[in-house]
């Protein structure tokens, strides 16, 4: 349970406990957005269980990855508010 | 194109699916258990960085995971149900076709998330949503949180937040104080549930109230609630609001299973058989009823799929939990305040940023979708469709595949798989 992994969020390195979700890792920077809506508003995780798609982020260059259903791994690169 | 063949495919790795998969696999059937989350457990036994698996989940993992005739497929989406007794799956971005003899649907439930002014601000989540995110490692220490909506889940979410260091400012329950009081009195009939409720009791429980609006610019900083006619604004870092649960029936509808017009749940008979041959269903996709009911239904569904008689005790246990579920549903039935239409400029469809007013201008869901794009974003109307059902009484319709956004390669594979024999 003490294992930690290192991810990069918008260029900033962050060390988180293993099995932290990407949505949770993004929230460690404070309450803020994961994506921008079609009219440009910041949005963040809503349902927490893979239904609403509000937590989608870019992971390792792949767009539209659900942050709440993705676990942090060493070296993972996360980009928000795309 | 890879086609995998199993005797029994189980969709959903929560209490119902886990139970069904264990019984079926231990009976010798080749079983695949599919779930879109990275690890098994569903919502109630969701694992996380600070959470050891719940005792029941740990027992399941010990007894089932190592069986040779069991395949656990986590992080796997069901994209479509192409042709006869086949599911098109996407796992790690790669397509896979699963052919099955029997199918057990244990797809669970999601939250009913109803719009209010400011509900698109970061910091607004579902109530169960908050709980899931906290279990996933989202820090809430020191945050002021207002939990709102309806049902026993609010207390569970508040408890989780508190145990992770948050200050729960209020739990705002739409059901009237009289209904809540009657319900709590009735709990004396089920001591386990009573203990649970008392253990979770919070002084700031406010029945007869709803969230009116969340305030903030880039994130929530306050929330206005209305409790029995009186408005009050509370400083809050987060608002966690969910109005009960809705059965997940996307796959069931696509297969052609009949569902209940009233609550949308999959119709099942006494043996958990759906209206389709060789398709069974268990847990909250057949009606909201909690973990104990889901688990016993999963056991019954497994017996039915295996073609073996189930112990009469299981049937009695199921009926007892179903009676309890009916009491919960009655106590927390959505009242007029919770169902009240919000202002026309409130966003209804968060995927496409369509307001309630824009949608209200149309005669039905289909027309509204065609003209406004509401319900046509990545969530496929799973959130706004429920709100539209509450506000306009529009029935939910069967989704067209793909049931979730998938890669184009997966869709190409779907077409190819129609011509591929089972290997």
Domain count along chain B:
3
Closest-CA residue of B relative to A56 is B378
Instruction: For residue A17, give both structure tokens.
Output: 């406990």
Candidates A3, A52, A67, partner chain B, best to mutate (most B CBs within 10 A): A52
User: Contact B369/B400 with Cβ under 8 angstroms?
Assistant: no
Domain A4-79 adopts which CATH fold? Answer: Ubiquitin-like (UB roll) (3.10.20)
B385 & B320 share domain: no
- For chain A, the structural domain boundaries read 4-79
Q: Which of B302, B329, B356 corresponds to the end of one domain?
A: B329
Instruction: For residue B227, give both structure tokens.
Output: 């409790």
Of B122, B136, B353, the CB nearest to A68: B136
B234 & B125 share domain: yes
Domain for residue B369, yes or no?
Answer: yes
Binned at pLDDT 50, 70 and 90, residue B418 comes out as low
B338/B149 Cα distance (integer angstroms):
8
The predicted pLDDT at position B21 comes to 98
B208 & B124 share domain: yes
Mean pLDDT of chain B: 92
Of all residues in chain B, the percent with pLDDT exceeding 70 is 94
Domain for residue B324, yes or no?
Answer: yes
By mean pLDDT, which of B11-25, B275-289, B398-412 is the weakest?
B398-412
Say which CATH number the domain at B226 has: 3.50.50.60
Instruction: For residue B13, give both structure tokens.
Output: 């790795």
CB environment B393-421: b (16+ within 10 A), e (fewer):
ebebeebebbbbbbeeebbebbeebeeee
Q: What is the pLDDT of residues A27-76, one digit of tens each?
A: 999 888 999 999 999 999 999 999 999 999 999 999 999 999 999 999 99
Q: Locate tokens 């027309």: which residue?
A: B367
B101 & B44 share domain: yes
What is the sign, positive or negative, of the torsion defined by CA atoms of B363, B364, B365, B366? negative
Mean pLDDT throughout B11-21?
98
Which residues of chain B does A38 touch, with a Cβ-Cβ cutoff of 8 Å? 351-353
The predicted pLDDT at position B419 comes to 63
Residues of the domain holding B316: 3-110+246-329
What is the sign, positive or negative, of the torsion defined by CA atoms of A62, A66, A69, A73? positive
Closest-CA residue of B relative to A26 is B138
B92 & B118 share domain: no
pLDDT higher than 70, residue B361 = yes
Instruction: For residue B64, give both structure tokens.
Output: 């089932």
Instruction: For residue B52, give both structure tokens.
Output: 């050891």
Domain for residue B239, yes or no?
Answer: yes
B338/B254 Cα distance (integer angstroms):
30
The predicted pLDDT at position B284 comes to 98
User: Contact B139/A28 with Cβ under 8 angstroms?
Assistant: yes
pLDDT, greater one: B186 or B227: B227
β-strand partners of A65 = A57
Q: How far is A54 from chain B (nearest CA, A)?
A: 8
B228 & B118 share domain: yes
User: Under an 8 A CB cutoff, do A48 and B126 touch?
Assistant: yes
Which residues of chain B does A49 touch, with a Cβ-Cβ cutoff of 8 Å? 37, 43, 110, 128-129, 132
Q: Which of B84, B94, B4 is nearest to B410 (CA)?
A: B94
Residues 6+ apart with CB under 8 A from B328: B151, B152, B183, B288, B289, B290
List C-alpha distances in Å: B352 to A40, A54, B118.
11, 11, 16
B142 & B95 share domain: no
Instruction: For residue B339, give both structure tokens.
Output: 């169902």
List C-alpha distances in Å: B328 to B178, B180, B183, B334.
14, 10, 7, 12
B126 & B214 share domain: yes
B325/B330 Cα distance (integer angstroms):
9
Binned at pLDDT 50, 70 and 90, residue B340 comes out as very high
Q: Where are the beta strands (DSSP E) in B276-316?
A: 279-281
pLDDT, greater one: B412 or B265: B265
Mean pLDDT throughout B183-187?
80
CB atoms within 10 A of CB A40: 8
Candidates B133, B145, B386, B408, partner chain A, best to mutate (most A CBs within 10 A): B133
pLDDT, greater one: B82 or B89: B89
Mean pLDDT throughout B94-103?
95
The predicted pLDDT at position A63 comes to 93
Binned at pLDDT 50, 70 and 90, residue B61 comes out as very high
Residue B288, preceding peptide bond in cis (omega within 30° of 0): no
Domain for residue B404, yes or no?
Answer: no
CB atoms within 10 A of CB B236: 25
Residues 6+ apart with CB under 8 A from B422: B3, B5, B99
B76 & B26 share domain: yes
B278/B85 Cα distance (integer angstroms):
9
Domain for residue B64, yes or no?
Answer: yes
pLDDT higher than 70, residue B171 = yes
Of B120, B129, B238, the CB nearest to A41: B120
The predicted pLDDT at position B18 comes to 97
Q: What is the pLDDT of residues B118-162, one digit of tens each?
A: 999 999 999 999 999 999 999 999 999 999 999 999 989 998 999
B210 & B196 share domain: yes
Q: What is the dihedral of CA B66, B71, B73, B79, to 10 degrees?
A: -170
Closest-CA residue of B relative to A40 is B353
B118 & B236 share domain: yes
B131 & B106 share domain: no
Domain for residue B153, yes or no?
Answer: yes
Which residues of chain A does B218 touch, with a Cβ-Cβ cutoff of 8 Å? 32-33, 42
User: Contact B171/B154 with Cβ under 8 angstroms?
Assistant: yes
User: Under an 8 A CB cutoff, do B130 and A38 touch?
Assistant: no
Domain for residue B269, yes or no?
Answer: yes
User: Under an 8 A CB cutoff, do B120 and A43 touch?
Assistant: yes
Q: What phi and psi, each to the nearest 5 degrees, are found at residue B197?
A: -65, -40
Domain for residue B162, yes or no?
Answer: yes
β pairing state of B109-111 and B245-247: antiparallel
């Amino acid at each position: 349970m003490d294992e930690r992994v290192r991810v990069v969020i918008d260029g900033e390195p962050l060390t988180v406990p293993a099995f932290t979700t990407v949505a949770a890792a993004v929230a460690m920077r404070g309450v803020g957005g994961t994506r921008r809506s079609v009219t440009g508003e910041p949005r963040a995780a809503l349902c927490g269980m893979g239904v609403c798609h509000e937590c989608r982020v870019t992971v390792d260059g792949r767009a539209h990855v659900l942050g709440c259903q993705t676990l942090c791994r060493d070296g993972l690169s996360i980009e928000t508010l795309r | 194109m890879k086609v995998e063949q199993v005797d029994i495919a189980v969709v959903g790795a929560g209490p119902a699916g886990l139970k069904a998969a264990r019984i079926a696999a231990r009976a010798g059937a080749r079983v695949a258990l599919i779930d879109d989350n990275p690890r098994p457990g569903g919502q109630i036994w969701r694992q996380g960085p600070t959470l050891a698996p719940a005792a029941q989940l740990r027992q399941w993992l010990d007894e089932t995971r190592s069986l040779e005739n069991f395949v656990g497929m986590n992080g796997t989406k069901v994209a479509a149900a192409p042709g006869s007794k086949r599911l098109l799956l996407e796992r790690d971005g790669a397509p896979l076709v699963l052919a099955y003899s029997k199918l057990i649907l244990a797809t669970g439930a999601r939250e009913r998330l109803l719009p209010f002014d400011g509900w698109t601000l970061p910091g607004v989540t579902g109530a169960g949503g908050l709980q899931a995110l906290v279990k996933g490692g989202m820090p809430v220490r020191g945050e002021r949180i207002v939990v709102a909506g309806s049902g026993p889940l609010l207390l569970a979410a508040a408890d989780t937040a508190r145990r992770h260091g948050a200050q729960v400012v209020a739990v705002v329950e739409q059901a009237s104080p009289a209904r809540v009081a009657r319900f709590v009195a009735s709990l004396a009939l089920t001591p386990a549930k009573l203990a649970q409720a008392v253990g979770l009791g919070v002084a700031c429980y406010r029945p007869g109230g709803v969230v009116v609006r969340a305030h903030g610019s880039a994130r929530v900083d306050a929330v206005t609630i209305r409790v029995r006619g009186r408005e009050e604004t509370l400083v809050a870092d987060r608002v966690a609001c969910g109005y009960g649960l809705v059965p997940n029936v996307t796959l069931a509808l696509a297969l052609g299973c009949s569902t209940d017009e009233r609550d949308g749940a999959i119709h099942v008979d006494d043996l958990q058989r759906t209206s389709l041959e060789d398709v069974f269903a268990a847990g909250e996709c057949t009606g909201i009823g909690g973990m104990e009911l889901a688990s016993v239904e999963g056991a019954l569904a497994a017996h039915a799929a295996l073609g073996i008689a189930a112990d009469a005790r299981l049937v009695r246990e199921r009926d007892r939990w179903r009676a309890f579920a009916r009491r919960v549903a009655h106590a927390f039935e959505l009242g007029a305040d919770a169902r009240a239409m919000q202002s026309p400029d409130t966003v209804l469809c968060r995927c496409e940023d369509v307001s309630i007013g824009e949608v209200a201008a149309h005669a039905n869901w289909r027309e509204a979708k065609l003209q406004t794009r509401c319900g046509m974003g990545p969530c496929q109307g799973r959130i706004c469709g429920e709100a539209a059902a509450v506000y306009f009484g529009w029935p939910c319709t069967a989704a067209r595949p793909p049931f979730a956004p998938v890669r184009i390669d997966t869709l190409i594979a779907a077409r190819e798989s129609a011509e591929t024999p089972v290997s």
